[in-house]
Amino acid sequence: MAPPRKHNIILIGFMGTGKSSVGRELGKRLQRRHLDTDAIIEEMAGMRIPDIFASRGEEAFRDLETEAARRVSQCGGCVVSTGGGIMGRDENVELLRQGGVLICLTARPEVILARTAPWEGRPMLKTAPNPKAAIETLLAERNPRYALADWTLDSSDLTKHQVVNKICAVLPSLYRTIATRS
């Protein structure tokens, strides 16, 4: 069963779990356009995410994130990579869910730490005195929101190609699941 072209495949999860690299590869494999909410935010703001945090603050960034969720929810048949905190607002969850299937990529904290270093482009880690502890705290806060995904995959010990293969294998059953949501 081929995935319906009208539904987006939306990758959610913590930073460093592979959402962007997997999203690009999945888009190529499925011949779908790849969108990245962080890139959309940077385009809207005219600056990089660390600069948004520094000059406008986290709340302004989260507002831009909601607008990015709104924009991608209006697209159809795309692969969407999201920022790690996008699921923090109920409005974003609803916008993303209405647009398609939510797949959460996870990884162990030590894997995330290794994948995200150095933390210059990671505002949530850059100022933390103990980045691993910050990761563990943020994961504990965000995991209930990530649990809203239609399917979850731990990417810790997988290559991006292995992750893409696993996603492609499960897509038919995920589309049957979300068909019952509508």
CA distance to 17, 73, 101, per residue, from 93 (Å): 19, 10, 11
CA distance to 16, 27, 98, 166, per residue, from 34 (Å): 18, 5, 18, 18
CB–CB of 81/34 below 8 Å? yes
How far apart, in whole angstroms, are the C-alpha atoms of residue 7 and residue 110? 33
Provide the 3-class DSSP secondary structure of residue 15.
coil
* pLDDT tens digits for range 53-76: 999 999 999 999 999 999 999 998
| Closest to 3 measured CA to CA, from 177, 178, 171, 116 | 171
| Closest to 93 measured CA to CA, from 19, 21, 12, 35 | 12
How far apart, in whole angstroms, are the C-alpha atoms of residue 98 and residue 101? 8
Task: Provide the CB-side half-sphere exposure for 126 (13 A, CA).
Answer: 10
Q: Is the pLDDT of residue 182 over 60?
A: no
* pLDDT tens digits for range 70-107: 999 999 899 999 999 999 999 999 999 987 999 999 99
pTM: 0.91
pLDDT value of residue 107:
98
How far apart, in whole angstroms, are the C-alpha atoms of residue 179 and residue 131? 40
Q: Is the pLDDT of residue 49 over 60?
A: yes
pLDDT value of residue 1:
43
Q: Is the pLDDT of residue 15 over 50?
A: yes
Length of the chain: 182
CB–CB of 6/77 below 8 Å? yes
* pLDDT tens digits for range 129-157: 788 898 999 999 999 999 999 999 999 99
How far apart, in whole angstroms, are the C-alpha atoms of residue 172 and residue 182? 16
